[in-house]
């Protein structure tokens, strides 16, 4: 039995408005056309697909700003999207692994969030490997949800049938794609405590 989590909006709480406000302060007035809770657009989507280097991303943001903004300020604005991971979620994920379940992560992410926020956060809490048997990030796979290809890539790597995986995500389109491919799914509401949902699923499949 495998539990597959999305990261943003399921494990880590998000603040899209805080991130957008930070970019506006840098001078990116039309930031709303690029940033979305579930799938980014334009330049930001190319970053999440791993098709744009950090250096090129920084240069493109400076062009949008019309001024010389430091790389660190750009990264800080972008990382303002990610807020925090409540301790109870980390504890519960550890409990799942202690029960012998396979726990994996599938996230639309990017090298900046990964290197500047995700890795440092988990290093302070024991490391990603303390919580997940495998992690799959869009910028490393060059694929992104809700496209079917990223789900198929995970199934190939896991060598698992879709109906043996419970997938939790806060994006409706992501859930619809996964459901179409045969995954067990649950659409997470904003800042929901989804522990009871997982427990009920496991009790029903034990």
- Burial code (b: 16+ CB inside 10 Å, e: under 16) for 97-109 equals eeeebbbbbbbbb
Average pLDDT over residues 157-183: 97
Per-residue pLDDT at 206 exceeds 70 = no
Calculate the average pLDDT of the chain: 96
Least confident stretch, 34-43, 157-166, 169-178: 34-43
Q: What is the pTM of this model?
A: 0.94
- Give 188's DSSP letter: P
Mean pLDDT of 137-162: 97
Tokens for 150? 């990223």
Take residue 32 and report the two structure tokens written for it.
Answer: 């709303």
For the domain covering 14-82, report its CATH number: 1.10.150.240
- Which single residue is written with the structure tokens 């750009």? 74
Please give the Cα distance from 12 to 10 (Å, whole number): 6
Domain boundaries, the chain: 2-13+84-204, 14-82
**Quick one: pLDDT at residue 204?**
82
C-alpha span between 98 and 78 (Å, rounded): 34
CA distance readout (Å), 85 to 13, 47, 142, 170: 6, 23, 26, 15
**Of the options 3.40.50.11740, 3.10.450.50, 3.40.50.1000, 3.40.190.10, the CATH number for the domain spanning 2-13+84-204:** 3.40.50.1000
Alpha-carbon distance of 151 to 162, in angstroms, equals 9
Q: What three-state secondary structure class fits 39?
A: coil
Q: Can you tell me the mean pLDDT for 80-105?
A: 97
**Between 148 and 204, residue with greater pLDDT:** 148
Active-site residue, 84 included: no
Residue 40 — φ and ψ, nearest 5°? -80, 170
Q: Kindly tell me if the per-residue pLDDT of 107 is higher than 60.
A: yes
Please list, in sequence order, all residues whose beta carbon lies within 8 angstroms of the beta carbon of residue 37, skipping any fewer than 6 positions away. Answer: 8, 9, 14, 16, 170, 171
Mean pLDDT of 95-114: 97
Q: How confident is residue 131, by pLDDT bands cut at 50, 70 and 90?
A: very high
Tokens of 161: 């049938």
**Two tokens, residue 73:** 């300020």
- Does the structure show a pLDDT above 90 at 189? yes
Query: How do beta strands 13-14 and 82-84 pair?
Result: antiparallel
What is the rounded distance in angstroms from the CA atom of residue 42 to the CA atom of residue 31? 11
| pLDDT digit string, tens, across residues 7-42 | 999 999 999 999 999 999 999 989 999 998 888 999
φ, ψ dihedrals at 102, nearest 5°: -85, 130
């Amino acid at each position: 039995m495998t539990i597959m989590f999305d990261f943003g909006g399921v494990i880590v709480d998000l603040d899209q408005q805080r991130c957008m406000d930070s970019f506006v302060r840098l001078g990116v007035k039309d930031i709303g056309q690029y940033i979305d809770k579930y799938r980014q657009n334009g330049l930001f989507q190319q970053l999440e697909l791993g098709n744009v280097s950090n250096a090129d991303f920084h240069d493109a943001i400076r062009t949008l700003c019309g001024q010389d903004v430091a790389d660190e300020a750009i990264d800080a604005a972008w990382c303002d999207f990610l807020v925090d991971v409540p301790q109870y979620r980390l504890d519960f994920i550890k409990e799942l692994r202690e029960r012998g379940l396979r726990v994996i992560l599938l996230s639309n992410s990017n090298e900046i969030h990964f290197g500047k926020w995700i890795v440092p956060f988990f290093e302070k809490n024991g490391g990603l490997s303390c919580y997940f048997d495998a992690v799959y990030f869009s910028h490393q796979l060059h694929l992104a949800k809700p496209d079917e290809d990223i789900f198929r890539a995970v199934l190939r790597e896991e060598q698992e049938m879709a109906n043996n995986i419970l997938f939790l995500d806060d994006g409706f389109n992501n859930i619809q794609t996964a459901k179409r491919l045969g995954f067990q799914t649950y659409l997470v509401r904003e800042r929901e405590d989804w522990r009871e949902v997982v427990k009920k699923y496991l009790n029903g499949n034990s």
